[in-house]
Structure 1
Amino acid sequence: MVRYFSVLGLTLAGLLLAGVAANGDDKPDAKPAGTGRLLAKEYIEVDEKGVPNARFLLRVAEATPNIVEVRGINGWVAYASYDEAQKEYRGFFEWRRLGAAGAPGGKWADLYQIRLVKTADGELVMTGKSKENDFVIRAREHTAKPPAP
């Protein structure tokens, strides 16, 4: 009888562990997969629902065939190099000095490591992490609307 419960217990434990391992693959990937190179264009930041924020424009410029420069309208700059195998850019982000005021929130010395990808739907997603902070920026190509007649 004791052996029966031991075997039953081990079997149930094995099934439980197998279920946990199988469900580990069901977690959504926090990092979107990259689909290729970014185009040198102007992008507009969007929120999680895709609503644009015209106060935050980004400009992507090709510094070399494998390095991009990304500048934000509010004073930051990033440089990233392309990793063909991962279909993503990796590099660094930092606020530039804004006169005597330094940088927003005193973050001049805050250097971020970044990951920059173009998603399947064409959205630009930049994530960054420093010793003290992290961020996510989502943006899509900015298409200026012609002035109304």
Structure 2
Amino acid sequence: MKVKLDADKIRKIALFEKVTGAAALDCVESQNGRKLTFVVKEGEVGKAIGKNGRKIRKFRQMLGKSVDIVEHSENPGDFIANVFSSINVKNVEVIDSGEGKIAKVDVDNSEKGKAVGRNGWNIKRARELLARHHGFADVSLT
């Protein structure tokens, strides 16, 4: 899918690419603007992080924000696992309903709070990224 970016996100992506050397496809920001997530091309997460995390640390310091990196995948299931990379995803079920594709992500009960995130940031981010990159109507946790 083609992702539409506004001028602010294009500037952030350009700076990200300049600092890290990794190709970014997208950028989403939390509502309070304190957290950014960059979607990078497959195989470029290591490049974005840099040796011992040097590149991503430098970028975070420049912006003064929390920055996450998600590896893109053409496979929706793999992309969902990448979005929830810090959580043990047991299974992903894709349902093609009349209102569009829905992803049901199965995580341990002990990790549901982490999957939702503070103020719902992680689940909102997952919904936005899956809608933008794979045309999903919704993402739910089971």
Q: Same fold (TM over 0.5)?
A: no
TM, length-normalised to structure 1: 0.29
TM, length-normalised to structure 2: 0.30
User: Who wins on radius of gyration, i.e. which is larger?
Assistant: 1
User: Of Structure 1 and Structure 2, which has the larger fraction of its residues in strand?
Assistant: 1
User: Of Structure 1 and Structure 2, which has the larger fraction of its residues in helix?
Assistant: 2
